Amino acid sequence: VLATMVDRYRAVWTPERLAALTETGRSEQEIVTLASIIQAEARVESEMPRISGVYHNRLESGWLLQADPTVLYALGGYRERLLYAAIDSVADNPYNTYAHRGLPPGPIGAPGELAIDAALRPEEHDFMYFVARPDGSHRFSRSLSEHNNAREEARGRD
């Protein structure tokens, strides 16, 4: 089983993806780690490149990633809603991207090819935030004030 998994993983890294990896300036582990976060965040596959773009923008700006899936991983599993108390309870965990800059030390799951492609080729834009809507799609924002408004709307408090 393990050999099959390794073979499948190697097959994903086509010459085209390896060339894209070189262009990113990131390591394979960093791209797979980022792809795993994208995979966990995206409920709408077509949003993966845009979500990736937000994460790339935040990393390049030196911001905290603030990716909920990494905190859920640090907490040991899924929760319906991520509360600040839960985030604070794992502040020392290196997977808590609300407390630690950059990518976590490794993947939080096994990303699919679409997520890997999104990590390798993020959509170029100036969005810095996003919030999940009840239907699983996301609203993307450029500023904190836009983001806070989007959060309120997503929670149904228009």
Domain ranges of the chain: 2-125, 126-158
| Helices 48-60 and 28-41: angle between axes, nearest 10 degrees | 130
pLDDT at 19 over 70: yes
158 pLDDT band, cuts 50/70/90, is very low
Give the 3-state DSSP-derived string for the chain, with helices as H, strands as E and coil as C: CHHHHHHHHHHHCCHHHHHHHHHHCCCHHHHHHHHHHHHHHCCCHHHHHHHHHHHHHHHHCCCCCCCHHHHHHHHCCCCCCCCHHHHHHCCCCCCCCCCCCCCCCCCCCCCCHHHHHHHHCCCCCCCCEEEECCCCCEEEECCHHHHHHHHHHHCCCC
pLDDT at residue 79, as a whole number: 61
Q: Is the pTM of this model over 0.95?
A: no
37-96 pLDDT tens trace: 999 999 999 999 999 999 999 999 999 999 999 998 988 876 656 566 677 678 889 999
